[in-house]
Structure 1
Amino acid sequence: MKRSEPMTSRLWPVLLLLFVIASGCRTYGGYGTEDATLAQIEQANEQFTAALSRAETEAQVLRAAVGRYPALAPVAAGYEETLARHRALIARHEALLEQAAATSGLFAWIMQTRYRTISRIFGGLLAEQQVVYDRYLDAYESVARLVGAPVAWINAVTTSPRSRYYVVPPQYEAIRQTPTVSIRDLLGS
Structure 2
Amino acid sequence: MARPSVVLEVGPLGLCGVDEAGRGPLAGPVMAAAVMLDPARPIDGLRDSKKLSAAARERLADLIRERAAAWCVAEASVAEIDAMNILNATMLAMQRAVAGLGRAPDEVLVDGNRCPKWAWRSQAVVKGDDRVAAIAAASILAKTARDAFMGRLHEAYPVYGFAQHMGYGTAVHLDALKAHGACPQHRRSFAPVKQVLDQAVLF
TM-score, normalising length from structure 1? 0.29
Relative contact order, higher structure (CA 8 A, sep 6+): 2
TM-score, normalising length from structure 2? 0.28
Larger proportion of strand:
2
